[in-house]
Structure 1
């Protein structure tokens, strides 16, 4: 959905670590055999899930680009899933300006959209599955297009009439939408009391035509759309504006969904904005799936712009949703624009927060966000004059390919290697440098300060030589393209971590 307008402060388009910031190592005495430097990504037969759980959110990348990223980056690096943009047909505004939020105003459930054709969508799902990567779709099922839109054009050519609330492709008519006074008590259909469940779930969010999800007919059509996607190989859904759908309505829709092609129940990640109590609190939606970690992302911003030594106790005691329900993230498309969370313009803070998220282990299916550069909150992704999204070019400053940043991409393998291991060997300097291990499988140090930190760390790792995966790529032959760290027989290593940087090792 379209957030409140905001104009972020100008900043460099992306953060990049240069050769000057690479770590300087003071190697310790080696006791024991040198350990092989192995890839963190799981291997898999074509068409089988690689078993990873990290999501790459490729926000508004077209289907051809998502397919290539699954094949070339996400699969090899061990990402478990990719989250993709809403694939249904949506409104297209007149003229050559096409804000990103057009795709959050659906007008039909066929799969021809800004991101490509239905055939391209199917090819993308197949390519991602061949790479071992699951596909999660952003499902816009709370509403259709905005009531204030004059356009009658869409990307897929579907016929609709906003004023009459008719959407022929589904089909929907006026009886399928909430209305005043039967449902919403406000004549303008606006939500005036955000603590009133009826208004939040039966009035129009941001003037978007609100579907009557308590209707069996509407539920059948929504479930039919989601099952079509499952039939095409989709493995789960990020449910847009889920807070504005009654929990029992959503539970009924979920109950109608088929198992995925890999024989699992579809993953459900719900957008539940913070605020509200009782049936409007995030906890009230846990029965239908996990919830997007706005609480997690807010904490990342406050600590990485404060004192990261506090993160020693980070978890449910901070008031977060339970770990198995909290969809961990550092940012998403709404919060990066309204300033609520860190984003790519925060440079090393954003990178380090993402690496911490992958290392710490709290939250379910952590999401690494990759989008596009913007100056104003409504800016379109790179696109043609007709609004069709261009192929992603990660060498261009127009795209922000966070999933490819070496330290972040390789931390996915670190995350996979550390699964099931508890945090241990915590160290901090009382300020903005921390280090910890995950059992004896992986170790990381993060320096969020303005000067380098040199320390002899207890890593918990067996003796040997390890590739620093933040600055080098390991390969199956035991070589490392960057710096290595030597861990001695007592499990310690002397390391210098440059300002705004990190060092990460894993078995």
Structure 2
């Protein structure tokens, strides 16, 4: 990939061109929409209200929290402990879920449901679920009996201990969660019936929670014969030198690529967003067309593995890179601020989740959010601007990479950028101090409205433009915002 050594201010040193060939005239925007968003712990009515705004900014799909009946707990992870497959939860009723799916469909926004099919509850004592269903750890009336669960012999505790043992990872219990015998045809048929029920309500597909803890052929048997076009996204957390890897699941669908999130976090924290970073098989990750790329999700924002809303401007910068870069299908995360990794969403006196709302959301990340406050990155100017950038550039390849290697102005050492052919160019600053630079691009000459700030920037006949890149910020030009 081409690289330029550029310096743009009077204090900067050498300027080497990358052999860019600007287009004679700007091409028409690609108008491609592929980005999704996890609305973590958002109730069904709240999602329905948000969908028109999501469609307007270019969101293609919404991932919901699990919709099935769950244990009665205040912690967020209660939703990941199924009691039955009734669509009744503290996020809403079956009718509200169906209405939400229909409303979002009216705005061409698909709903992807988080499907918990690896396990049931992890509580040691009998109880009653949210919708009134009685259960015990290995007994769920009219659904599962003791013979429908694995009895782990690989681990002395019954829980997964050694992630280097594939059998243990896929048959033992994940933190005491009753592990279903997903290799049994009768179990597969019952799980498929649950997915079919969700499809009957209009969902476009599923995120398979804890897919890593099921053998790939078990998942394949469960989803076999799903309608054409059904989205299947699988959670397979990549672990170094482990025998269970995301690549083993690609025959069934796409996977969440944790390597991407970890790499992006490392680049932001190191102060340099490498424009030539290699993703895909050559970089130790799955092919782009089968990767769900993300900065964070509901797990990683709690375990500190990646950046999160708490990182403010650096988090926003990572989101800008995510949306500008061609690798994968990007997923944003919109949830609530929390204190303590187990903290659940804000609840009313009956235990239902209070309606999420972005009506009063600020247009930029805030230094601090009170616990229980809904965090709305989809309302930030940088996210809205970069979603527009992504739609305009479509699947154009990455070009014109630039990295300032030698400059008297130290701030320039943290400025990088890349183009998307004649469709767009994005520059990033991974330092707190702003820096002015000149960039050589493949953009056609013209007056471009910058995606985030709204400033007008002139691209000359050679494809060059000069701009101040804000600290922990981005400057993005694209053909969807150029005078014609």
Q: Verify same fold: TM over 0.5.
A: yes
> Which of 287, 298, 315 lines up with 1:333 in the alignment?
298
Does 1:313 find its partner at 2:313? no
Partner of 1:467: 449
> Which of 144, 148, 161 lines up with 1:176 in the alignment?
148
* TM-score after normalising by structure 2: 0.86
Partner of 1:108: 84
Verify the 8 A CA contact 1:100 1:380 in the aligned structure 2.
Answer: yes
| 1:358-373 → structure 2 map (5 Å cutoff) | 358-363=323-328, 365-373=329-337
1:53-92 Cα deviation digits (max 9, x unpaired): 1111111111111111111x21111111111100000000
Verify the 8 A CA contact 1:33 1:464 in the aligned structure 2.
Answer: no
- Aligned to 2:385, the other structure's residue is in SS state helix
Verify the 8 A CA contact 2:451 2:477 in the aligned structure 1.
Answer: yes
Structure 2 CA distance for partners of 1:32 and 1:206, relative to 1, 3 Å = closer
Verify the 8 A CA contact 2:165 2:243 in the aligned structure 1.
Answer: no
Partner of 2:231: 267
Structure 2 CA distance for partners of 1:401 and 1:151, relative to 1, 3 Å = farther
Q: Hey, what's the Cα distance between the residues in 2 that align with 1:382 and 1:167? A: 29
Q: Hey, what's the Cα distance between the residues in 1 that align with 2:232 and 2:334? A: 20
Q: 1:159, CA displacement in angstroms?
A: 2.4
Partner of 1:70: 51
Partner of 1:432: 414
| 1:206-221 → structure 2 map (5 Å cutoff) | 206-221=175-190
Q: Hey, what's the Cα distance between the residues in 1 that align with 2:216 and 2:25? A: 54
Q: 278-287 or 51-60: which moved more?
A: 278-287
Verify the 8 A CA contact 1:92 1:151 in the aligned structure 2.
Answer: no
Partner of 1:155: 130
Partner of 2:317: 352
Structure 2 CA distance for partners of 1:146 and 1:386, relative to 1, 3 Å = farther
Q: 418-427 or 59-68: which moved more?
A: 418-427
> Which of 224, 232, 245 lines up with 2:201 in the alignment?
232
* TM-score after normalising by structure 1: 0.82
Structure 2 CA distance for partners of 1:458 and 1:167, relative to 1, 3 Å = same
Q: Hey, what's the Cα distance between the residues in 2 that align with 1:79 and 1:410? A: 12
Verify the 8 A CA contact 2:63 2:114 in the aligned structure 1.
Answer: yes
- Aligned to 2:288, the other structure's residue is in SS state coil
Partner of 1:89: 69
Q: 1:41, CA displacement in angstroms?
A: 9.6
1:201-229 Cα deviation digits (max 9, x unpaired): 11111100000101111100100101111
Q: Hey, what's the Cα distance between the residues in 2 that align with 1:314 and 1:348? A: 24
Q: Hey, what's the Cα distance between the residues in 2 that align with 1:350 and 1:225? A: 36
Structure 2 CA distance for partners of 1:65 and 1:427, relative to 1, 3 Å = same
Q: Hey, what's the Cα distance between the residues in 1 that align with 2:116 and 2:418? A: 40
1:279-310 Cα deviation digits (max 9, x unpaired): 51221222221211111000011110004253
- Aligned to 1:439, the other structure's residue is in SS state coil
1:306-348 Cα deviation digits (max 9, x unpaired): 0425342332333222222221111011111111100011111
Q: Hey, what's the Cα distance between the residues in 1 that align with 2:241 and 2:331? A: 26
Verify the 8 A CA contact 1:62 1:116 in the aligned structure 2.
Answer: yes
Q: Hey, what's the Cα distance between the residues in 2 that align with 1:186 and 1:495? A: 59
Gaps of 5+ in 2: 1-21, 362-368, 406-412, 480-484
Verify the 8 A CA contact 1:41 1:76 in the aligned structure 2.
Answer: no
Does 1:485 find its partner at 2:457? yes
- Aligned to 1:146, the other structure's residue is in SS state coil
- Aligned to 1:435, the other structure's residue is in SS state strand
1:128-185 Cα deviation digits (max 9, x unpaired): 111111111111000001142x3623222222223xx22125x1111111125xxx33
Q: 1:409, CA displacement in angstroms?
A: 2.1
Gaps of 5+ in 1: 1-30, 43-50, 472-481
Does 1:442 find its partner at 2:424? yes
Q: 1:458, CA displacement in angstroms?
A: 1.9
Structure 2 CA distance for partners of 1:380 and 1:309, relative to 1, 3 Å = closer
Verify the 8 A CA contact 2:273 2:430 in the aligned structure 1.
Answer: no
1:90-115 Cα deviation digits (max 9, x unpaired): 0003xxxx010000000011111121
Q: 1:493, CA displacement in angstroms?
A: 1.5
> Which of 344, 348, 352 lines up with 1:384 in the alignment?
348
Q: Hey, what's the Cα distance between the residues in 1 that align with 2:231 and 2:451? A: 30
- Aligned to 1:469, the other structure's residue is in SS state coil
Partner of 2:470: 498
